[in-house]
Amino acid sequence: MGPPVSSQRVLIVDPIAAEGEALLSRAADVVRSPDSSHETIRSLAREADGVITRSKLPDDLFSAAPRVRAVAIHGTGTDLVPLADATARGVPVSNIPGGNAQSVAEYCVMAMLMLSRRIVSITSALKSTSWDEARTLGAGTHEIAAMTVGIVGVGEIGTRLARICHHGFGMRVLGHQRRVDRLPAEALETGLDDLVRQSDFVVVTCPLTPETHHLFNEKRIGMMKKTAWLINVGRGAVVQEEALIGSLKEKRIAGAMLDVYEHYRLEPGHPLLSLDNAVLTPHLAGMTVESRARMSVAAAEEMLLMLSGKPPKNWVNRR
């Protein structure tokens, strides 16, 4: 059993909603990181007993900051934490499964509409060229109602997305995941390669595991229709970035909208930043006011449990 929670310090790597921070502050000292760079995290974590994050932590976090005794993931992605090292050192790690599922599902719908209606290109053209040139781009856009969406990894996010697409737009929904018995009624069970070949939108929502690492390599991306779009809100390394960049450059697929990347942060000059058929966001699909309120309170509750020597509700590295 460690010292009383009130004498302990919690590092918040990314800003959390006021509700969660208020709950945490009543029982522990809160330190807010000014950014999510690994150098900053290492420095501030040295004096912290717990860390709440939704950004990738340094692989050497626990050797750089041996005082850390608990980590709460402000989301679902266990790959954000050096999990094996945490387990070896007896540091409990928690996450919040499903906490941002609605927000991410809505982001995926937004992505399909933005891609099919060429919103980014049209907006850019209207600002930089002329009204008429922007309107010309609109002539090549599409309705999504008659299209097929293939969802890879139909968990909480995929299930909500399947229902929105089927009932809201009348789309044909294909689903692929390990547990076919958990597929929602709106999704037709489909083998991965068939799903990729048939879909107008391929939406990746699966977690990163040894089996899913580079699941979308050059061969599988090459199975997509030339008119199809790839949307990734799962984990960056599920898609082999080099293969995707090649396909986008050569227009072998219509385009992609990405919220996650193979090496987490996009550095200046990254090849994706120069592609006009890649729409990019900085890992924010689940970041809405509503989801942050839910998850911030949940993350704070989990942290306080762990710092009190109690097991978290969602203990991802239980031995």
pLDDT computed for residue 103 by the predictor = 97
Express each pLDDT in 93-120 by its tens digit: 999 988 999 999 999 999 999 999 999 9
CA distance 124 to 154: 34
Q: Do 63 and 123 reside in the same domain of the chain?
A: no
pLDDT at 38 over 70: yes
Spatial contact of 151 and 104, defined as CB atoms under 8 Å apart:
no
Q: Do 95 and 105 reside in the same domain of the chain?
A: no
Q: Do 260 and 183 reside in the same domain of the chain?
A: yes
Q: Do 245 and 116 reside in the same domain of the chain?
A: yes
Structural domain tally of the chain? Answer: 2
Q: Do 129 and 228 reside in the same domain of the chain?
A: yes
Strands (E), the chain: 9-12, 29-32, 50-53, 70-73, 93-94, 148-152, 172-176, 188-189, 201-204, 229-232, 255-258, 278-280
Q: How confident is the model at residue 5 (pLDDT cuts 50, 70, 90)?
A: low
Pairing of strands 29-32, 9-12: parallel
What CATH number is associated with residue 149? 3.40.50.720
Show which residues are catalytic.
235, 267, 283
Q: Do 189 and 255 reside in the same domain of the chain?
A: yes
Express each pLDDT in 290-313 by its tens digit: 999 999 999 999 999 999 999 999
pLDDT computed for residue 171 by the predictor = 98
Q: Do 240 and 120 reside in the same domain of the chain?
A: yes
Closest C-alpha to 98, from 82, 80, 77, 81 = 77
The share of the chain scoring above pLDDT 90, in percent, equals 92
Express each pLDDT in 168-188 by its tens digit: 999 999 999 988 778 999 999
Q: Do 87 and 211 reside in the same domain of the chain?
A: no
Residue 176: domain span: 101-280
Alpha carbon distances (Å) from 132 to 21, 113, 293: 49, 22, 43
Mean pLDDT of the chain: 95
